Amino acid sequence: MVIWGDPGSVLSKPRDMPTITLETLIDAPPEQCFDLARDVQAHIASTAGSGERAVAGITAGLLGPGDEVTWEARHLGLRWRLASRITEFDRPRRFVDEQVRGPFRSWWHEHRFEPAEEATKMTDLVRYQLPLGPVGRLAGRVYLRRYVENLLERRALSLKAMAERRGPMSPEEQESPGTS
C-alpha cells in the first residue's frame, strides 16, 4: 500500500519535496526484516531489474551506523551513481539512509519495522527533492514520483519474498509489481 504525504511524520518538508510512504506486511520477525533491508547483497538482488550494484564504500555484508555505500544502476536509460550514508540506526526498529552525493538535490529514506501480530509491518518513508527548480518539480510530478514508487514497491516485494523464504524475485517478476 502506498500512501502519499504522510501527515503524521515528525519531519517538516518544503512544498516541493515529494513524500512516499510504502507499507509491506512480511511474515517474518522484525529483526530478520531489519537485517535483510540493510544487507548489501539483498539490496542488489532486490534491484536486479536496474542492474544495481555497490561500487564503493561498504560493498558486502550488513550496513551499520555511519556506513556509506555508493550504488550504481541504470534508471531511465542512463547510468546513475548515488552515495548514501546510514545516519540513524536503532536495531531492530528503524534506520535512515541519506544521499551524500548523487542525482537528487536531497534523498532521505527511513526504514521502519514494527511487530504486527505474527508478522512485521515494514514501512519505507522517502522524501526527496529534484535539482533544476521548476523543471525538476514538473518532471517529478509528471513522471519521476511514480517511477520511484514502483522501484520501492518492487524492492519491498522482493525483500518480502526473501524474508518469507521464497528467495529473491526474478527480473521478470520485478517488471510487474504486485504479482507475487
- C-alpha cell belonging to residue 82: 548515488
pLDDT (tens digit per residue) in 128-152: 988 877 777 777 777 888 899 999 9
Environment class of residue 59 by beta-carbon count within 10 Å: exposed (0-12), middle (13-18) or buried (19+)?
middle
CA distances from 132 to 25, 146, 178 (A): 36, 19, 33
Residue 10 pLDDT more than 50?
no
CA distance 63 to 147: 25
Alpha carbon dihedral 129, 25, 97, 140, in 10-degree steps, equals -10
- Note the pLDDT of residue 133: 78
The pLDDT value recorded for residue 132 is: 79
Strand partners, 86: 97
Task: Kindly list the distances between the CA atom of residue 148 and the CA atoms of 34, 107, 166, in Å, as whole numbers in the listed order.
Answer: 21, 11, 25
| Dist. CA 96–CA 110, nearest whole Å | 4
User: pTM of the predicted model, to two decimals?
Assistant: 0.82
> 47-98 pLDDT, tens per residue?
998 999 999 999 999 999 999 999 999 988 889 999 999 999 999 999 999 9
Is the pLDDT higher at 176 or at 46?
46
